[in-house]
Structure 1
């Protein structure tokens, strides 16, 4: 988990690295916390921006709520990582574990239930982790993602800043870890549809939204393949991708076509194996 200046330089431009150094020196990191390898922070720029980095992954798997649309990481992420080079924040994971170990099961259950009763995002992940039936359809998931676009800049149609899609990617990952690939495919499809249909609203942070789309599309294809190459799900997915390639956002056409080709190949291999 060693964070070095050289590793930080590799994920950003020289100009951004210098701005990150300046932000750190100016004391713009207002809060910083760590649990295990995940660091979260609030960095002051033109406003307060949330930053999240994973110190254990290649490239640090960073996210920031700022509108940066250039190559590599933004200055807020760089400032946080440089702070970790100097002094990694104290890991609160042990404290969390100790609190959990010292809590009576009934008290913990009551607390967890109260939290899950009011937090839909966590409730969905809880259901996914512990094998409960899927509670929201693709259309319902899609509507929730669409609302995030609408809420990001309610006074204007265009969206200038990144949107954090982590709750849906995390939900899909929960399903995948439990081997529930069809459910995960539904989450990825909702992301693909919403990103495709809302891409014309994006007027900044294009790289952020493009990366989210590619990640969702790759996840969708992988999960459809994992269900059953002989199943109708593959045929339906190919039709969906071909329709999107023909009618969706023009600069995403190549990605839709590539994904459809990959699934058609899987379908043909499945038929030849019969």
Structure 2
């Protein structure tokens, strides 16, 4: 879509638009990069915030790791979009394509393997895209998500700012795209369990965490149901959800009850007459 001031106004409130203008005028935008239509930027505020927008997507598909949870998008995204109205960063996509085409296949393979050997997150995404079903357990993934809660505010138990869970949602999406539903369900289950157990720590950005939980439990139900209609997997999932109704965060119980009912209904549909 066209990046205009009017288009930017449509994705935020008037007050946020004004704050975004101020951020732009104050020179708070740094480290701008663009590949094709995706722009990544660092914006300085109370700390350094990572921002990502897609200039071709509906409403720019914005993402920022700041704690804003109000209507529309945040001032950091607005500042980035306003900068792009008249001054987009140079597109590095053509250079990237040229380098890939010019690279020797063996050198490229060696570089990729070296990178994957030292980056566990990227390695798992690689396996999700090109490999077989994941061998990582739900507990292993859940421990990694739990660490994200602990690292967000290491000096205090309470978490005030949103946490970026896109690493796990993107991973689940990769598995779903290849119809590896059991692996995707394991990722969603780890998110559900960690969010449920850590919700009492949250004191701010409630919409962010609630939306992440809802997205995770909906994905879990969908993938369990799609995993070759495995009755044992459905039974295990129902037991997990039932247990969470009783032992999990009280205000999330209704979501677990709804998910349990949906899976039981699917079990009944698959049962022989």
Given that 2:133 and 2:180 are in contact with CA atoms closer than 8 Å, whether structure 1 keeps it comes out as: no
**Distance between the aligned counterparts of 2:171 and 2:95, measured in 1?**
26
**Distance between the aligned counterparts of 2:216 and 2:26, measured in 1?**
37
1:42 alignment partner, SS class: strand
Q: CA deviation at 1:90?
A: 2.5
2:33 alignment partner, SS class: strand
Asked if residue 69 in structure 1 is aligned to residue 61 in structure 2, the reply is: no
Q: CA deviation at 1:26?
A: 1.9
User: Structure 2 vs 1, CA of residues 85 and 242 (structure 1 numbering), >3 Å: closer, same or farther?
Assistant: farther
> 2:5 matched to which residue of 1?
5
Within 5 Å, give how 1:74-153 maps onto structure 2: 74-153=74-153
Of stretches 190-199 and 87-96 in structure 1, the one that deviates more from structure 2 is 87-96
**Distance between the aligned counterparts of 2:238 and 2:38, measured in 1?**
37
2:264 alignment partner, SS class: helix
Aligned residues: 273
Of stretches 103-112 and 211-220 in structure 1, the one that deviates more from structure 2 is 211-220
> 2:33 matched to which residue of 1?
33
TM-score (norm 1): 0.92
Q: Where in structure 1 are there 5+ consecutive unaligned residues? A: none
TM-score (norm 2): 0.93
> 1:188 matched to which residue of 2?
188
Q: CA deviation at 1:170?
A: 1.6
Q: CA deviation at 1:43?
A: 0.3
**Distance between the aligned counterparts of 1:252 and 1:37, measured in 2?**
38
Q: CA deviation at 1:182?
A: 0.5
**Distance between the aligned counterparts of 1:105 and 1:164, measured in 2?**
34
Asked if residue 252 in structure 1 is aligned to residue 257 in structure 2, the reply is: no
> 2:213 matched to which residue of 1?
213
Q: CA deviation at 1:157?
A: 0.7
Q: CA deviation at 1:198?
A: 0.5
1:136 alignment partner, SS class: coil
> 1:204 matched to which residue of 2?
204
**Distance between the aligned counterparts of 1:104 and 1:186, measured in 2?**
37
2:271 alignment partner, SS class: helix
Q: CA deviation at 1:97?
A: 0.9
**Distance between the aligned counterparts of 2:85 and 2:247, measured in 1?**
47
Q: CA deviation at 1:27?
A: 1.8
> 1:47 matched to which residue of 2?
47
Given that 2:3 and 2:55 are in contact with CA atoms closer than 8 Å, whether structure 1 keeps it comes out as: yes
Q: CA deviation at 1:64?
A: 1.4
Deviations 1:62-101 (A, max 9, x none): 2212222322311111111222233333221121111100
Q: CA deviation at 1:133?
A: 4.0
1:30 alignment partner, SS class: strand
Of stretches 191-200 and 219-228 in structure 1, the one that deviates more from structure 2 is 219-228
Q: CA deviation at 1:150?
A: 0.7
